[in-house]
């Protein structure tokens, strides 16, 4: 049992390392993990003066919005790129579970993107001289871990979606702005039409944002973070099932690399 766990951990670690090495050569990573959060922060913070509490909420909204973009373009594109490189079949038909390989790659992409987004946001925050309210740093760290877990699970789910279509690149571009508008981050849910206000509740990142908003202005409320964790578990489960179905169908029809 221990040996299997160690082997699984080693496979996930190798997948993570491989993904991160590949990301160093991809210009889109710089766009979504550096340029976009910097631009959004300047735009949002430059429009009006922010109190320390508002600054925390604004930075949280921008970081999580950038995380969505990064998830779509990096973690979400893992299997699409594998197909492009001609290595998809080897990745999903090896001795180890395809889900494990995808998990490692998605985690690697998410961690790499998160580091870029946080670092570039920190530079802008310093440049703009934001005064920050960080009343519960420990809980913010927990929230960050939930974001990474959520990004990883969402990335796996999107990667499976892009596996069953030949238009993955077009879908990537198409998925960005709907979530910018309906994700409940920079545009709060109460600014949406009533009949659309249920949509943000489906996005785990929006619940993390609600947790940060609560923490920055008062006591710790764990319920939003709990919902984010539950949604993350749901994404992960759905991704594992979708991947299994997609790979099985691809192998049966002989179309794994040909969609």
**Binding region for another protein (CB under 8 A):** 27-28, 30-31, 35-36, 38-39, 42-44, 46-48, 170, 173-174, 176-178, 180-181, 186-188, 191
Q: Of 6 and 174, which CB lies nearer to another protein in the complex structure?
A: 174
Q: Of 109 and 247, which CB lies nearer to another protein in the complex structure?
A: 109
Shortest spacing between CB 51 and another protein, in angstroms: 14
CA 152 to chain centre: 6
Q: Of 140 and 176, which CB lies nearer to another protein in the complex structure?
A: 176
Of 95, 106, 97, nearest to 22 by C-alpha is 106
Residue-wise burial string across 59-75, b where 16 or more C-beta atoms lie within 10 A, e elsewhere: bbbbbbbbbbbbbbbbb
Q: Of 11 and 34, which CB lies nearer to another protein in the complex structure?
A: 34
Q: What is the dihedral sign for C-alpha 108, 112, 118, 119? A: positive
Q: Of 168 and 250, which CB lies nearer to another protein in the complex structure?
A: 168
Shortest spacing between CB 137 and another protein, in angstroms: 27
Shortest spacing between CB 153 and another protein, in angstroms: 24
Q: Of 11 and 185, which CB lies nearer to another protein in the complex structure?
A: 185
Shortest spacing between CB 173 and another protein, in angstroms: 6
In the 8-state DSSP scheme, what is residue 34?
A: I
Shortest spacing between CB 24 and another protein, in angstroms: 13
Shortest spacing between CB 67 and another protein, in angstroms: 16
């Amino acid at each position: 049992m221990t040996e299997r766990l160690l082997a699984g951990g080693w496979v996930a670690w190798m997948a993570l390392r491989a993904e991160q090495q590949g990301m160093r050569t991809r210009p889109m990573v710089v766009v979504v993990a550096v340029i976009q959060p910097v631009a959004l922060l300047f735009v949002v913070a430059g429009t009006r003066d922010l109190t320390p509490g508002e600054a925390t909420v604004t930075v949280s909204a921008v970081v999580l919005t950038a995380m969505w973009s990064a998830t779509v373009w990096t973690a979400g594109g893992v299997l699409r790129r594998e197909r492009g490189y001609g290595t998809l079949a080897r990745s999903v038909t090896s001795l180890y579970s395809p889900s494990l390989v995808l998990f490692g790659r998605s985690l690697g992409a998410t961690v790499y993107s998160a580091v870029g987004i946080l670092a570039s946001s920190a530079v802008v925050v310093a440049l703009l001289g934001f005064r920050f309210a960080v009343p519960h740093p420990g809980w913010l760290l927990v929230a960050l871990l939930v974001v990474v877990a959520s990004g990883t699970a969402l990335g796996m789910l999107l990667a499976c979606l892009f596996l069953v279509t030949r238009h993955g690149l077009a879908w990537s571009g198409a998925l960005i702005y709907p979530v910018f508008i309906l994700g409940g981050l920079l545009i709060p849910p109460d600014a949406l039409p009533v009949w659309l206000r249920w949509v943000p509740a489906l996005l785990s990142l929006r619940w993390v944002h609600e947790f940060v908003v609560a923490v920055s202005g008062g006591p710790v409320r764990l319920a939003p973070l709990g919902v984010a964790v539950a949604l993350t578990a749901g994404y992960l489960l759905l991704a594992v099932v979708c991947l299994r179905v997609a790979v099985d169908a691809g192998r049966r029809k002989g179309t794994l690399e040909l969609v």
